Amino acid sequence: MFLTILLFIVGFALLVKGADMLVDGSVSIAERYGISSIVIGLTIVAFGTSAPELVVNLMSAFSGNVDLAVGNIIGSNIANVLLILGVSSLIFPLIVHKNTAFREIPFAIGATLLLVILSKDSIFGASNIDILSRLDGLVLIFFFVLFLIYTFKIAKIKSPESPDLSEQINNSKESIQSVGSPMSISKSIIYIVLGLAGLIVGGKWIVDGAVSIATLFGISESMIGLTIVAIGTSLPELATSIVAAFKKQSDIAIGNIVGSNIFNIFWILGITSVINPLPIDKGSDIDFIFLIFSSVLLFVVLLVGKKYTIEKWQGMFLTFAYVVYLVTFWFR
């Protein structure tokens, strides 16, 4: 059992480091080939910080531990908004541009609502069994493609009111690793390969360890996924957003979370359910309620108080809401 827990912890470390190296290598290559800074932020960086969730879900789907896959994404998205943005705005108020408030954030809310509709077949469908089928997965992937098309379209538009996104990424990355100059192509490729290797190995160890721990203590896989695994795989988002808050780079902090949540639902749950249909836990209603609540709450707080700003008192409320969510596990 000691070895299982040790590998579980080391798996998290590999996930975080692997994601970090993947982002570094990908951003470096993208910049060298002149890819738009907006595309870098919304695609490559979003993929990098969401890569742990992707790997854990793929490992779960291939091994048949599907409860862990669904719980991981729902729990991660809730933690992203309530915990990560809450803590980040406690460090420094996060300013959101109007376009983000009325375009990308509603897009994330739409992704959440679509997930609920596709998942709750007993309410919205003809079946009495709640499941994300392969067809549902294809629908999610279709909307992910639409999101990518939207991203590439806005890539040609640079808002005069915001700093260049590549500069923000560089500032955030420098504060994490003190990177002073762009990587060579060969070093970038090595970083990507090692990063992917860390994600794959770390993801397998986390899935194996989570299943073993859940079995030993009689805890459901879905609950493990909603808490321990969800928070653990959100560590890259947490690190990036906190550093961005310290650097007063609100675009990175907000965009990282909104982009990751969209990526998590449309691509990760989409591809996972295509590989292996995902049954929805009957006791997951409270989790879906908090998922919708957190998505809508992010939009609401931007219109309350100082417009388009998540102030410190609002960050305290977001963090408190996450604590309340964790407390609900004691009553299940």
Domain boundaries, position 95: 2-331
Provide the pLDDT for residue 40.
Answer: 67
For residue 131, what is the enclosing H or E element?
A: strand 131-132
Residue 262, CB-side half-sphere exposure with 13 Å CA sphere: 27
Query: Mapping DSSP to helix (H, G, I), strand (E, B) and coil, where does residue 72 land?
Result: helix
Question: CATH number for the domain including 134?
Answer: 1.20.1420.30
- Domains held by the chain: number: 1
Task: Judge whether 26 and 44 are in contact, CB under 8 Å.
Answer: yes
pTM of the model: 0.78
Tokens 């795989």 correspond to 233
Q: What pLDDT score does 156 carry?
A: 59
Measure the CA–CA gap between 59 and 202, rounded to whole angstroms.
Answer: 10
**DSSP character at residue 228:** I
pLDDT at residue number 126: 62
130 in Cβ contact with 118 (< 8 Å): no
What pLDDT does residue 168 have? 45
User: pLDDT value at position 171?
Assistant: 47
Q: What per-residue confidence (pLDDT) applies to 195? A: 85
Q: Is the separation of the CB atoms in 245 and 94 below 8 Å?
A: yes
Which tokens is 176 given? 């994490």
- Which pLDDT value is given to residue 164? 45
Distance of CA 95 to the CA centre of its chain: 20
Closest of 226, 194, 229, 170 to residue 52, by C-alpha: 229
Nearest Cα residue to 264 out of 176, 177, 168, 147: 147
Q: Are strands 94-95 and 309-310 parallel, antiparallel or unpaired?
A: antiparallel
> Is the distance from CB of 78 to CB of 288 less than 8 angstroms?
no
Beta bridge mates, 94: 310
Q: What is the mean pLDDT of each run of 10 residues along the chain (332 residues)?
A: 84 82 76 65 74 85 79 92 93 83 90 93 75 94 93 63 45 42 81 85 81 78 77 78 75 82 95 92 87 95 89 95 90 74
31-41 burial, b at 16+ Cβ within 10 Å, e below that, comes to beeebbbbbbb
